[in-house]
Amino acid sequence: MSLSAYLHVDGGSRGNPGLAACGMDLVDEHDAILCQGGWFLGTQTNNYAEYSALIWGIENALSLGVTSLHVQADSELMVKQMNSVYKVKNVGLKRLHHLATILASEFDSFEISHVYRSSNKKADEMVNKAMDAHKAVGSYNIALDLSPKQPSLFCKETASSNADATTSNKKQSHDATATVGQNEDRTILKNPASEASFDGCEHEDVCGTYELTVKDHFDAAHALIGYPGKCQYLHGHTWEIELTLAGTKLDSIGMLYDFKDIKPQLHALLDAFDHHCINDVAPFDRINPTAENLSRILYANLTDTLPEGIVLKEVAVWESPIAKVVFRPAE
């Protein structure tokens, strides 16, 4: 017997890392609630909470016999990683991504798509309730389990091993094919099978650190709580954001990190603030939306997604062409 369901998931942390929780809202095709709960995670990063929500929601859907699942999440990074648009380079997230992928393979049909926060209110509500209560809230069929799993853990005893084999064959086929990566003013033929990194000093007379800077912007308003001047009132800026990445090793084609990999990650974060009042957007509904706090929050979210060997050196926030704040981690 087939059972279709829709799953909304969300994760959040107050600070990054900080007090965290995940939430899910699982309904059947007639919009009847199957599960609607939040799970307290302690101190974790925002991305960890997003993946925890996805895994917990999938686990509950499988335990209830759902065979066709459509997931909606407001984390563009997670959705694009699950859809293989972005690579998962953070070591901590790789394990959670692998777990979510195994669980997703248990369904006859599985889809995941991105929605804006305004379309994800019930899951977001569960997140905040769990954080406030410091415990699980709402209704759920099974507890969150982030331990490693093998296919066919729940109800399907069909050929999920065959699905794994198919996935493996597809990956091998993909790896054997050269792909073209377009990076603004350069087009590079990339062969993933030969992407072993090398030490930049091995073939050069001069060795040192490479730095890469990318820029983006968004338009938004804010009001500074407690500020003794006009900035206490609502006003707007075109915020210019600069990221500087650093590292000592280049990949096999002589690049530190591809611009096209970091730019979408930055843009996805800034999109949450664009044409909004920042005071209404988490975490600035709880902390003052100063340029200093914004630079630190952006740093915390972005450093969590970078591969080993690549360091986010600093995040600069320009409130105007003549006013800049820079956040660098303590050494």
**pLDDT tens for each residue of 202-223:** 444 456 889 999 999 999 999 9
Q: Which is more confident, 151 or 96? A: 96
Q: What is the DSSP letter of 277?
A: B
Query: CA end-to-end span of the chain, whole Å?
Result: 58
Residues forming a β-bridge with 237: 220
Tens digits of per-residue pLDDT, 135-190? 999 999 999 998 877 655 444 433 333 334 334 443 343 333 333 333 333 333 33
Using an 8 Å Cβ cutoff, are 244 and 256 in contact? no
Give dist(CA 164, CA 63) in Å, integer.
21
* pLDDT bracket for residue 303 (50, 70, 90): confident
44 by Cβ neighbours in 10 Å (0-12 / 13-18 / 19+) ranks as buried
Residues forming a β-bridge with 318: 240, 324
Give dist(CA 140, CA 185) in Å, integer.
50
**Ranges of each domain in the chain:** 4-169, 194-327
4-169 belongs to which CATH class?
alpha beta
* Nearest CA among 282, 21, 286, 17 for reference residue 130: 21
Give dist(CA 317, CA 218) in Å, integer.
11
C-alpha gyration radius of the chain? 22
Give dist(CA 245, CA 38) in Å, integer.
35
Confidence check: pLDDT of 80 > 90: yes
Q: Using DSSP, how many helices (H) and how many strands (E) does the chain show? A: 7, 14
Average pLDDT, the chain: 83
What are the distances in angstroms from CA 151 to CA 148, 182, 189, 271, 302? 10, 36, 35, 36, 31
Tokens of 150: 């093998």
Question: What pLDDT shows up at residue 103?
Answer: 94
* Nearest CA among 281, 175, 298 for reference residue 243: 298
pTM for the whole thing?
A: 0.51
Q: What is the mean pLDDT of residues 226-252?
A: 91
Q: What is the mean pLDDT of residues 268-278?
A: 92
194-327 belongs to which CATH class?
alpha beta
Question: What pLDDT shows up at residue 1?
Answer: 76
Tens digits of per-residue pLDDT, 14-39? 987 889 999 999 999 999 999 999 99
Q: What is the DSSP letter of 15?
A: E
In this structure, which amino acid lies at residue 195? E
Residue linked to tokens 């459509």:
70
136 three-class SS: coil
